[in-house]
Homo-oligomer: A and B are copies of this chain.
Amino acid sequence: MNLTHIDESNNPKMVDVSNKNDTLRIATASGVIKISKEAFWAVLEKRAKKGPVLQTAVIAAIMGAKKTSDLIPMCHPLMISSVKIDIKELPNLPGFKLYATVTLKGKTGVEMEALTAVSIGLLTIYDMVKAIDKSMEIGPILLEEKSGGKSGDFKRR
């Protein structure tokens, strides 16, 4: 099995997509942050009013998706068509699960954009509650599903 991002001299390269067609591509990723009960309720109490922690995470995730090619060295710059973020409360963990769905009419898949959005969104929650809880854990972050493109659709079982 070959690594597509490595050239014949063993150097990393940005894969050539100039011959690919512009098709609709959609990817959804998700990620969890596990936090203490105290931190969980501090976030939710605020949310009852205006929800600044979760809403900051939503916005950071959207902006993070747009920065993917600036952060991940071999990613192509893309004109993302949409980003949508959802955050589910997990009171039993306790914690939060953040979903990002990214859409593109373009030449390459957007799973990295969805995964980057999830990562930045979860780091933002971490940042805003770290004064209360330093033992938080981020993960698992994973691809839920993707469609469009030559390599076929994917849906996590």
Residue pair A59, B59 in contact (C-beta under 8 Å): yes
Complexed CA–CA distance, A38 and B6 (Å):
16
Query: For residue A1, which residues in chain B have a CB less than 8 angstroms away from its CB?
Result: 38-39, 42, 132
Shortest CB–CB separation between residue A117 and chain B, in angstroms? 10
Number of copies: 6
Query: For residue A87, which residues in chain B have a CB less than 8 angstroms away from its CB?
Result: 11
Residue pair A3, B80 in contact (C-beta under 8 Å): no
- Which residue of chain B has its CB nearest to the CB of A103? B18
Shortest CB–CB separation between residue A53 and chain B, in angstroms? 7
The 7 closest A-B pairs by CB, nearest first: A139-B139, A16-B82, A18-B81, A138-B141, A137-B140, A139-B140, A10-B50
